[in-house]
Structure 1
Amino acid sequence: MSHQDKILDSTGAPGRRYSLKTVLRLFVPSVLGILIFFVPLTLAGRTTIPLDHMVSGARYLLGGLDGWYALVLIVAGAVYPLATGRWRRSVTERIFTVLKLLGVVAAVMALSGWGPALLHTPDMLPFLFDKLVIPVGLIVPIGAIFLALLISYGLLELIGILLQPVMRPIWRTPGKSAIDAVASFVGSYSIGLLITNRVYKAGQYSAREAAIIATGFSTVSVTFMVIVAKTLDLMAVWNLYFWLTLLITFVVTAITVRLPPLARMDDEKPGNEPEVARGRRLTTAWYTGLDAAREAPSLARSVALNFKEGLLMAISILPSIMSVGLIGLLLAKYTPLFDWLGLVFYPVTALWGLDEAMQLAQAASTGFAEMFLPALLMGDTGFVARFTTGVVSVSEVLFFSASIPCILSTTIPISIGRIVVIWFLRVALSLLLAIPTGYAVMALAVNG
């Protein structure tokens, strides 16, 4: 027996023989994937994950061409449903095809400076194009290249078995969905959704599981949370803000999975994670990961497939962000729509006797248009209101300027109507939990 074919199964279980090559195939891509997506690295005085550094580097290399790059993707995204005939599939597809065409117009206006002055204020087209569209247009395709390292060589299956006892009873999702959750928080909701869609298409998530992950875990990244915290002057309590926001986000998800519409979605899928015998979880996880690594396609094939899907997702997302995001921002700034929506949440905010109860309720409702809007509106309020705003901005997960178009661009079968209901539930529950938490943090900060 050659060194390459050395048997690495110390238990002697029949049929469990793996070569050193298979073990390396599990470990090397997985470790590289973890480093790229999850381990912060300091470069040029900036600390973030390597993927974010790569995106920043790509934008730097593009220089003034980054806007033209984004415009090319947006035009491709608007043409794609027309060229493939997807616009004929449903009324929703037709509506979003029109919105994508409008997104091209909005992108041309953002790039050229043409159009009404009110659209060129810093919180309108410049915000959408520079802060959302260009970064997402870079992070999704670049992230997709390295995504193969995380999801194609056994790590997903290994983690899935290990975390099954936690994920399944609390969130009713497979253990492997923990990777989606961490990828969203450390990297980007777009990367989390890319993973979710890829695994769903492979038949490893049911429609309900994919919808739970997309609407419950795929929130904004840590780096964007820092921007929210700075805007709301919460950096003095950053660690408490971060961990409590993480906790509240996932507690809210644990509740919403037990309520309609998520609780009533189809839960059938072709394959399930293996059942684990008592006391055999680590061994089963190890074998399951090695089996997946042994059967995985070549790295070149995995990268090509993931890059293609990432590029298709990027061109689908970007025009929708431009049009839907702009409409949402205009409604928030120039109409009373979100003031009216805020009345729904007022009983929840008033329950705790908060001075800014109505202001907080109305600000929370604007998060449906863009998650950053509440922070802009509540920056000068009291500590509890600011803390609550910071938590709800993240824990609501769903917003029309980016995450909702991202979800609708995937193959996950969840309608806009269901997304709206889930958003209302998430905001109400987040407010209910975040306000008393804000009082507790304020007490700790004062005593500390």
Structure 2
Amino acid sequence: MTNYMDKSQQSILEKDAVDSDSLSEKQWRASLWKFLLFSAFGIALFIIPFQWDGKVTILLGVLTDTLQALLGGYVVYVVMALVTTSCVGALAVKVLNPNLREGSLAKNLFDVNWFWLVARVLGMVFVWMIFLQVGPEFIISRNTGGVIFEDLIPILIPLFLPFLTDFGLMEFLGTLSSKLFVKLFNLPGRSAVDAMSSWFGAASIGLLVTMQQYDKSYYSQREAAIIATTFSVTSIAFTYVVAKTIGVDNNFVYFYLTIALTGFIAAVIMPRIPPLSLKPDTYHSGKSMLDEETPAHYSTYQWAVNRAVTRAQSMPGLGKVFKSSTKNLFDIYFGLIPVVFAIGTIGLGLAEYTPVFNWLATPLVPLLEWLQIPEATKAAPAMIMGFADMYLPALVGKSIESEMTRFIVGAASITQIIYMSEVGALILKSNIKLNILELFGIFILRTLISLVVITSVAHLLY
């Protein structure tokens, strides 16, 4: 997502290949504890699910809920200020063309191309129209702009800290699982952390990890594209919300296991077919910074610890870590939120007020009928609507009478992954070269794969 790499990050990349054997015993122990403590905190913050206030969540979710509770009704004004500042700043830079220092925060936040400038302008116009309730229902309706304004504002990361990525955990897990991930998914082993952070945390968290790793040249363009579109699954907590909305929460265990099975099968297939298989193995900096080969005199576990300790030792002080995290946070808020308003509102408006999705879903109806899915005509548009927003199929599909069909629609909406109100917008905003047509193609392919698997399970259950 970010277009910069500060000097401390460059230094980290340069020193990442240093062997921990060159460290003194005191340095080695200190770096080992740094790896263990910060990685443990990252796992606790982003991955480990637990019961809290009657729902399954993660520590980051609790922190986010606490922040939102503290902001209360003021969150609306915070969002409006962010979107307005994002647009006005970008317009000022485009019109006045000031001499901004390369790599500065102002340049990275406001110096955007024309496409993203238009998205920011639309985002600002939409947010004020929705707030003032002035304009066409297509924009200001509770079911279109209202969903974005009240339900999907991505205040998901009060502070992103790189404990999962920059203190050795990715090197450790990547070394241990590299052979498995290479064979199954044709990916580096360190992508295991991306998968876990999305699956147990949130899709946006996993995407942020992927984008940072691509910007640092740990992933190639092909690898980053695969990870972003294959492992950015929504959290367990939101999966339950979808199940409850569409009326299959009484079968949630089977619902979730079906999603897990479908996600695994799709992850095996998708990297091996176009468009993902055609992406080049080129790197953001021009060369790979990743080395997952195990030297002959190390066991896999020993080499995993060695690489983790080396990575932890190379990290700067916490002050620089917080500074870098703050830059990432600003980039998310100023860069992503206006795009979510622009693309998400238009997508939901098309779904709510036009027959576009009915037309797009027409070729899907015969397939659903062939799979013996009841109420195929109603189910098809609901599935296509998932491209606009993940929650939309559940809202539309809850009126379907057949529980089996609702089960299929709900599970498919989770495994489709690509939805433009958040994940799609975030991918388009990143440096990963995936355009909207490629994202739609990936969405359709994932839908077809998911339908076959989910329908097979649904016929066994119902």
TM-score by length of 1: 0.88
* Other-structure match for 1:384: 404
* Other-structure match for 1:206: 220
* Other-structure match for 1:351: 370
Alpha carbons 1:164, 1:174 under 8 Å: kept: yes
* Other-structure match for 1:320: 339
Aligned equivalent of 1:276, options 294, 298, 301: 294
More divergent stretch after superposition (39-48 vs 258-267): 39-48
* 1:307 Cα offset (Å): 2.2
* Other-structure match for 2:447: 427
Alpha carbons 1:313, 1:410 under 8 Å: kept: no
* Other-structure match for 2:152: 132
Cα deviation code 1:103-157 (max 9, x no counterpart): 1111112223333456444322221111111xx1x223x241x3x2111111111
Which structure 2 residues correspond to residues 295-334 of structure 1 after superposition, within 5 A? Answer: 295-334=314-353
The percentage of aligned residue pairs carrying the same residue is: 28
3-state SS in 2 of match to 1:381:
coil
Which structure 2 residues correspond to residues 330-409 of structure 1 after superposition, within 5 A? Answer: 330-379=349-398, 380-409=400-429
Which structure 2 residues correspond to residues 94-109 of structure 1 after superposition, within 5 A? Answer: 94-109=114-129
**Pair 1:290–1:189, CA change in 2 (3 A):** same
Question: How many residue pairs were aligned?
Answer: 421
* Other-structure match for 2:434: 414
Aligned equivalent of 2:312, options 293, 296, 306: 293
**Pair 1:333–1:210, CA change in 2 (3 A):** same
Work out the CA distance in 2 between the residues paired with 1:262 and 1:398: 14
Say whether residues 1:257 and 2:277 are aligned partners.
no
Work out the CA distance in 2 between the residues paired with 1:227 and 1:334: 25
Work out the CA distance in 2 between the residues paired with 1:286 and 1:239: 36
Alpha carbons 1:143, 1:191 under 8 Å: kept: no
* Other-structure match for 1:21: 30
Which structure 2 residues correspond to residues 142-181 of structure 1 after superposition, within 5 A? Answer: 142-144=158-160, 146=161, 148-181=162-195
List gaps (5 residues or longer) in structure 1.
1-12, 443-448
* 1:317 Cα offset (Å): 1.2
3-state SS in 2 of match to 1:173:
coil
3-state SS in 1 of match to 2:232:
coil
Alpha carbons 1:348, 1:431 under 8 Å: kept: no
Work out the CA distance in 1 between the residues paired with 2:202 and 2:326: 16
| Aligned residue type for 1:25 | K
Work out the CA distance in 1 between the residues paired with 2:134 and 2:329: 31
**Pair 1:175–1:24, CA change in 2 (3 A):** same
Work out the CA distance in 2 between the residues paired with 1:233 and 1:107: 31
Work out the CA distance in 1 between the residues paired with 2:212 and 2:255: 31
**Pair 1:107–1:207, CA change in 2 (3 A):** same
* Other-structure match for 1:196: 210
Structure number with greater CO (CA < 8 Å, separation at least 6) is: 2
Work out the CA distance in 1 between the residues paired with 2:335 and 2:54: 34
Aligned equivalent of 1:76, options 55, 79, 85: 85
**Pair 1:40–1:78, CA change in 2 (3 A):** same
3-state SS in 1 of match to 2:234:
coil
Alpha carbons 1:51, 1:143 under 8 Å: kept: no
**Pair 1:85–1:197, CA change in 2 (3 A):** farther
Work out the CA distance in 2 between the residues paired with 1:347 and 1:16: 65
* Other-structure match for 1:65: 74
Say whether residues 1:40 and 2:57 are aligned partners.
no
* 1:250 Cα offset (Å): 2.9
3-state SS in 1 of match to 2:291:
coil
More divergent stretch after superposition (28-37 vs 71-80): 71-80
More divergent stretch after superposition (74-83 vs 189-198): 74-83
Cα deviation code 1:68-94 (max 9, x no counterpart): 1111221233245445559x9xxx942
Work out the CA distance in 2 between the residues paired with 1:97 and 1:201: 22
More divergent stretch after superposition (117-126 vs 306-315): 117-126
Alpha carbons 1:154, 1:290 under 8 Å: kept: yes
Aligned equivalent of 2:65, options 50, 53, 56: 56
| Aligned residue type for 2:35 | L
Work out the CA distance in 2 between the residues paired with 1:175 and 1:187: 19
Work out the CA distance in 1 between the residues paired with 2:258 and 2:79: 35
Alpha carbons 2:408, 2:454 under 8 Å: kept: yes
**Pair 1:265–1:119, CA change in 2 (3 A):** closer
| Aligned residue type for 2:441 | V
Work out the CA distance in 1 between the residues paired with 2:373 and 2:352: 24
* 1:344 Cα offset (Å): 2.6
| Aligned residue type for 1:391 | A
Alpha carbons 1:77, 1:100 under 8 Å: kept: yes
3-state SS in 1 of match to 2:316:
coil
Work out the CA distance in 2 between the residues paired with 1:49 and 1:69: 24
3-state SS in 1 of match to 2:152:
helix
